[in-house]
Homo-oligomer: A and B are copies of this chain.
């Protein structure tokens, strides 16, 4: 596993001017770096989960935000929704291939945040 070789250089469009306001990448970036988006994606990276499991695992999320975030991620093709026509309802959520790609990038980031949280926030007060 090679983690930190040379960081890939920025695509040319990013290199100058980072990238223009209002371009699609900004929107995508907003979705995937959203407060709950990251948590959901991360949680699902461990495998298929039901609504109520996600609700528990994404500690503090409201039902509204869970529904809304899942919908956005589903529309973006990152999350797959599998509703089974049973009573009581059972809906399983999982990552798509694209979602797994993303999660693979998110995990090191979150792990880093986790490892450095003390140093960053602790050293602040």
Contacts and interface: CB of A to CB of B under 8 A. Distances in A.
User: Interface residue tally of chain A, by bracket?
Assistant: 35 or more
Q: What secondary structure prevails in chain A residues at the interface with B?
A: helix
A70 to B, nearest CB: 14
Interface string A12-52: 01111111111111011111111100110011011000000
A75 to B, nearest CB: 6
Contact of A11 (B77, B114, B120): B114
Q: Which of A10, A15, A45, A105 has the most CB of B within 10 A?
A: A105
Interface in A39-98: 39, 42-43, 45-46, 56-60, 75-78, 98
Contacts of A4: 104
